[in-house]
A and B are shown apart, each in its own frame.
Chain A
Amino acid sequence: MGKDSRLSTIQQSLLQWLAEPVDSAGLHVFRFAFGVVAVIGAARFLTYDWVERLFARPVFHFRYLGFDWLPIPDADQIRVLFVVLLVLGLLIAFGLLLRITMAIYFLVFSYIELIDVTTYLNHYYLVSMLSLWMFFLPIGRGGPKRVGRWCYVVLQLQVTCVYTYAAIAKATPDWLLHGQPMEIWLASRTSVPFVGQAIRLFGLSTLAMIASWLGFLHDLAVAPFLAWKKSRAIAYVVLLGFHLGTHLLFNIGMFPIIMSVAATVFFDPAWPRRWQARWRAWRGTAVDGDAANGTARPARSLLPGRAVGAFLIALGAFQVFWPLRGFAYGGNILWHERGMRFSWRVMCREKNGSVEYRVLRPGTERAIRISPGRYLTGYQEREMATRPDMILQLAHQIGRDYAEGDAMPEVYVDAVASLNGRRAAPLIDPDVDLMTIRDEIIGDGSWILDAPAGAPADLR
């Protein structure tokens, strides 16, 4: 058999496997849960006054490269958008007008996330991606009872990417050899149930190492073990325990719930019907039998069309390869932060910094100092102080503010950061005029100084 022929056979087998009809019940439950999470998420934003604090209070917004054309709505408009998200969440939960509601949900949610880089969170990005995937899935009310296997596979791929790249992000000497930043986090959370007792039992350093390795191994192995039928149940129990632990330890809001819901896409597609049948049997009511036995359709017809299929493949490839871009920059990603976002580097560092700009106006010899607090809220300043791209972006804004006609000032920065409790070290070259640096993505990034060598903080 020739190489082309073998490839063709593999391709055919793969397509057949992806087109294989499976029960859509699992996806309907997932869709319902996603809708509920969407409602809760929007309600939290509205009730906790985060709109005011995150979007209305700032006078300066950090923009994503290429998206700075997006208009910045005022607080009332953003509140309306969150109300829209809440209503859409309800519609999604009940599967009404699903295609259009998913499209609007994806656009509105992503738009809000693109307003200010400060608000970036991995799980918000995940919500955007899940809503985009779900746009293509035939899982609305009245949809087919059997769908192509690919409908599950795309979501499984997404969840696998999250966990796998979260594990890769933890595969660092700090995390695996020094138990940092876990040690720092545990030391400040002794009031969390069992943490203090566990520290007494194992010692802080040992417990930090245990927790670090458990976290790493969980992220690395949970997706394959969820995919394997024999280990699925225990893997999901472990996953629930893991996310319960992260919920208790860290302020990560909806993330544990989203991941616990998302992981159900690995379940046997018919799992809701089985549970329903058990429930009915327990209640003594009649069982319908396999309600998913609809009219059999030719397998290939369950695959998406060519254009949609190509888009889904491209989206899947993007999810697989885009998080790897950080490695192309070299150095310590946790320090220079290039390629940090949209890469599922979830909760993997403790970093704080201090920033002060120096502005040398045209025709003057003495620099004035500008504190970021003049432009930013406390929350924005905290996020910005350790992220070179945001430091650069604010430098450009300061430069524009102090320009005199066409004459731009020189803008320097004294930025110092501490990574995982290390000695504070300069983050940005204080002798580089940041007005000469276009952006953080392109270029050698030599204006960002190397990460400090040596081990992180060694706490007792």
Chain B
Amino acid sequence: MTRFPYGLVLISSLACGGSDAMVEEDALRQQAVRDFVDVTLTTSVGEARTALLGLQTAAQAYAEAPTADTRSATQEAWRQAIAAWQVIEAMAAGPLGAPDGVVGGQPGGQDLRDAVYSWPATNACSIDRITVADTHADVDALAEANVNVRGLDALEYILFDDDLENDCSRRNPVNADGIWEAERANLEARRARYSATIATLLVREFDAVDTALESYSTTIRDTPNEFFPSAQEGLNSISDALFYIDNTVRDVKSARIAGVAEDAGPEGRESLYANVSISHIRANVVGFQRAFNGMEGGVGFADLLEDVGATDLTTRMNQAIDTFLAEADATGLRPVEDVLAEDANGLTTFHDNLRAITTLFKSEFLSVLDLEEPDGVPVDND
């Protein structure tokens, strides 16, 4: 890893209006917060936005001519977009996170994440009802609908659910009144149009993410600020977001596909339709890796660890990440069923390698940098 020019960071931070009280050590932590937002998160959001623009183009072509080819092209564009998004999922700090005051919330949170990808809240029946009612053409109207019918997860269902059956109960009017059957001939075209509306809306949502990130970046430029009394609190906020790799990726996503969770059946899995669960998890870990190491020469957590002399921990965390990524690649990123068909325990090592990362993260990493676990109650301590 290229060693970051800490001296320049200090000089530049002071030159950019850092207060006289800010000293070198705090300047580095402050720079880490800034670089996470301005470089790592912004770059990743930019990549996802580019992928979404590709998805929008493909979905519009699909809507105009719903053929197997245009559908396939849209599916591929969706894969690109979701791969870029899953990187962000693992570091959804700042405006992407939940608002302060709710469970898992953080200062500056605006809940923008759910508008892009609401899994596991996705509601297939609601998507079917919108499809069959043909009320999905208006982007503004769809923007008012629940998040679980208009994100990348909804798009996955629309693009990859092959059988043109619905997910509603028999008693639902869609089935009970025969609406679905009556509209069956139109469903493919409607799904294609619905996918184009969602793709357009997602690009718009990403404009909102861009704007919010810009504003967030300005706010957190120096500490104390509206959100954080110190750079350490800013770091805590980022590490809270990184806990996604523990409480969602490991405990839910990975445990379910590895068959070690109680609810390990296929129903609860992510990516039920596109069957790219393993790729999603891999991308999540890449997001964690980006936040940990920083991007494009920016200060990451690894630099903070090295700055305090914990180089060995940096090495071991990167080794754990590399080991996991190699294990993920060894599966060929195939559908879970294919991997498990070869070996029923084929994803146990995958899960254990992921746990190796989260264990280091939750124990040594938090200790050395004196970071708090998320949803900690700011009660007294002694």
- From A95-103, A146-154, A248-256, A291-299, the one touching the partner chain is A248-256
Q: Is the CB of B21 within 8 A of A416?
A: no
Q: Which of A184, A347, A377, A416 contacts B381 (CB 8 A)?
A: A347
Across the interface, which residues of B come within 8 angstroms of A356, CB to CB?
A: 355
CA distance A17 to B358 in the complex (A): 60
Enumerate B333-382 residues with CB–CB distance to A below 8 Å. Answer: 351, 355, 358-364, 366-382
Q: Which of B26, B367, B368 contacts A191 (CB 8 A)?
A: B26
Chain A 334-353 against B: per-residue CB contact (8 Å), 1 yes, 0 no?
A: 00000000000011001111
In the complex formed, the residue of A with least CB distance to B258 is A369
> CB of A22 within 8 A of chain B?
no
Enumerate A165-215 residues with CB–CB distance to B below 8 Å. Answer: 184-185, 187-193, 196-197, 199-200, 204
Q: Is the CB of A53 within 8 A of B381?
A: no
Q: Is the CB of A252 within 8 A of B381?
A: yes
CA distance A53 to B374 in the complex (A): 13
Enumerate A417-431 residues with CB–CB distance to B below 8 Å. Answer: 417-424
Q: Which 10 A-B pairs have the closest CB atoms?
A: A378-B375, A253-B380, A196-B23, A188-B370, A424-B363, A418-B363, A190-B26, A354-B362, A191-B230, A190-B25
> CB of A368 within 8 A of chain B?
yes
Across the interface, which residues of B come within 8 angstroms of A188, CB to CB?
A: 29, 232, 369-371
- From A76-84, A379-387, A389-397, the one touching the partner chain is A379-387
CA distance A458 to B255 in the complex (A): 35
> CB of A367 within 8 A of chain B?
yes
Across the interface, which residues of A come within 8 angstroms of B135, CB to CB?
A: none
Q: Which of B22, B23, B230, B251 contacts A371 (CB 8 A)?
A: B251
Given A197-B23, A377-B375: A424 touches B359 (CB 8 Å cut-off): yes
Q: Is the CB of B369 within 8 A of A255?
A: no
Closest CB in chain A relative to B264 CB, distance in Å? 8
Closest CB in chain B relative to A458 CB, distance in Å? 6
CA distance A50 to B246 in the complex (A): 25
Across the interface, which residues of B come within 8 angstroms of A460, CB to CB?
A: 307-309
Most chain A Cβ neighbours within 10 Å, of B223, B363, B377, B378? B363
16 A-B pairs with C-beta separation under 8 A:
A54-B377, A57-B103, A119-B379, A121-B379, A185-B370, A188-B369, A191-B230, A196-B25, A251-B380, A252-B380, A352-B363, A354-B363, A369-B261, A419-B367, A421-B364, A460-B308
CA distance A50 to B378 in the complex (A): 9
Q: Is the CB of B362 within 8 A of A353?
A: yes
In the complex formed, the residue of B with least CB distance to A344 is B382
Given A350-B367, A421-B310: A255 touches B380 (CB 8 Å cut-off): yes
> CB of A16 within 8 A of chain B?
no
CA distance A459 to B255 in the complex (A): 35
Closest CB in chain B relative to A261 CB, distance in Å? 15
> CB of B24 within 8 A of chain A?
yes
Q: Is the CB of B24 within 8 A of A184?
A: no
Given A121-B381, A123-B382, A458-B309: A352 touches B251 (CB 8 Å cut-off): no
Closest CB in chain A relative to B9 CB, distance in Å? 14
> CB of B267 within 8 A of chain A?
no
Closest CB in chain B relative to A196 CB, distance in Å? 3
Q: Is the CB of A184 within 8 A of B380?
A: no
Across the interface, which residues of B come within 8 angstroms of A368, CB to CB?
A: 260-262, 264
Q: Which of A50, A185, A197, A374 contacts B377 (CB 8 A)?
A: A50
